[in-house]
């Protein structure tokens, strides 16, 4: 656990003592500390949808040694997630998932406006199960494949992507991302907001997809003639995500493109330059292709908890896709000049 020294030491020591005494294991990853899912002794599958409650207005120096016993007192607690800062304080809110709808309703009835401390009444309500995010400020030349690769490497549980012309920015696009669950979408939103997504341009924003924008996109789909200026690009139907691209496939594609344009085999330099406390790794990469006038270089973040490819392989795949994009844009510019 990466905690800043000197901040709420007494609370941290009490939490550690409680963990040791109870044998409860808390796992911290991507800015939240997690208990259960399933908890010890749980039998069967997970609880039905709609059994999670949202807890807000928590004092930042209160931890699970206080919160978990409190919320366990009204029902079977399947999972508890406390949002954390790097300093070791909580971010003022948490999520509790119960074994049944009745237990969740009892938690809301019992603890909404509960005075956790004098003058500190907490908020407890049903958790909003949002599944869709919107990425705005994407370059107009952003391809579906490029976006898919970046999101698969940085987030979990993405189910579909649709690309649209931006209603607010000329020469820009936005993407609607649909995730398998509210938790997956919330985790993705946090990862992307922290700047781990690097898609060729600064100024990219991530938000929950709101009803107004969703309705506007649906109207645009129904009436393409009255859409924004970039006709034909206003709405791409949400496409189920393809299987993750493999490094081998990307390198084969790059080698074919190089062969067609009389370029030699690409040489890769991949170097890890930064490791964040939450496990994210930042890589610098460079692709040198004999016969091409300049090397291609850049940076990419790689998530800590994905299985399969090594982090070096993921960074190498980003480097190969970067060169493919640059080469494609270069050829397009040359053709446009004629």
Contact 214, 162 (CB under 8 A): no
Q: Name the β-bridge partners of 90.
A: 84
Residue 251 confidence (pLDDT): 82
Band the pLDDT of 227: cuts 50, 70, 90.
very low
What's the angle, vertex CA 315, arms to CA 309 and CA 319, rounded to 5? 130
- Report which of residues 226 and 50 the model is more confident about: 50
Q: Give the list of residues 6+ apart from residue 44 with CB closer than 8 angstroms, or none.
A: none
Q: pTM for the complete prediction?
A: 0.54
Count of alpha carbons within 13 angstroms of residue 65, beta-carbon side = 16
* Pair 217, 235: CB distance under 8 Å: yes
Find the mean pLDDT for residues 320-335: 62
What dihedral angle (degrees, nearest 10) is formed by the CA atoms of 36, 42, 48, 49?
0
Give start-end residues of each CATH 3.30.160.20 domain in the chain.
247-336
Using the predicted structure, report yes or no on whether residue 221 has a pLDDT greater than 70: no
Taking domain 11-126, whether its CATH number is 3.30.70.330 is answered by yes
Q: Which one has a higher pLDDT value, 80 or 216?
A: 80
**Measuring CA to CA, how many Å separate 338 from each of 61, 282, 328, 331?**
66, 40, 16, 12
The CATH fold of domain 132-209: Alpha-Beta Plaits (3.30.70)
3-state helix, strand, coil in the chain (%, to 5): 35, 30, 40
Residues linked to residue 95 through DSSP beta bridges, in sequence order: 54, 81
Q: Do 125 and 54 form a contact (C-beta atoms < 8 A)? A: yes
Residues of the chain with CATH 3.30.70.330: 11-126, 132-209
pLDDT at 35 over 90: yes
Q: Which of the listed CATH numbers 3.30.160.20, 3.40.50.9100, 3.10.20.740, 3.90.950.10 matches domain 247-336?
A: 3.30.160.20
């Amino acid at each position: 656990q990466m905690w800043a020294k000197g901040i709420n030491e007494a609370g941290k020591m009490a939490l550690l003592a409680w963990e040791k005494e109870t044998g409860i294991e808390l796992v911290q990853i991507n800015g939240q500390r997690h208990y259960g899912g399933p908890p010890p002794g749980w039998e069967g599958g997970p609880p039905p949808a709609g059994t999670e409650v949202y807890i807000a207005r928590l004092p930042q120096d209160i931890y699970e040694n206080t919160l978990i016993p409190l919320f366990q007192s009204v029902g079977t607690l399947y999972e508890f997630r406390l949002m954390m800062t790097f300093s070791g304080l909580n971010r003022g809110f948490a999520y509790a998932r119960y074994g049944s709808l009745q237990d969740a309703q009892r938690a809301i009835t019992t603890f909404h406006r509960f005075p956790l401390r004098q003058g500190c009444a907490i908020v407890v309500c049903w958790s909003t199960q949002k599944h869709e995010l919107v990425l705005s400020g994407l370059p107009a030349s952003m391809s579906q494949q490029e976006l898919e690769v970046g999101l698969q490497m940085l987030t979990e549980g993405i189910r579909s992507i649709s690309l649209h012309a931006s209603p607010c920015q000329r020469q820009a696009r936005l993407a609607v991302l649909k995730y398998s669950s509210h938790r997956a979408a919330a985790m993705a939103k946090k990862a992307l907001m922290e700047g781990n997504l690097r898609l060729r341009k600064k100024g990219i924003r991530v938000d929950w997809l709101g009803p107004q924008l969703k309705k506007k996109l649906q109207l645009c789909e129904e009436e393409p003639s009255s859409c924004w200026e970039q006709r034909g690009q206003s709405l791409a139907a949400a496409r189920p995500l393809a299987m993750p691209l493999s490094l081998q496939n990307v390198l084969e594609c790059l080698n074919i493109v190089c062969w067609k344009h009389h370029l030699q085999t690409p040489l890769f330099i991949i170097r890890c330059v930064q490791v964040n406390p939450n496990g994210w790794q930042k890589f610098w990469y460079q692709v040198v292709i004999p016969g091409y006038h300049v090397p291609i270089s850049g940076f990419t973040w790689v998530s800590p908890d994905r299985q399969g490819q090594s982090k070096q392989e993921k960074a190498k795949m980003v480097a190969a896709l970067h060169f493919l994009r640059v080469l494609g844009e270069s050829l397009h510019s040359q053709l446009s000049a004629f």
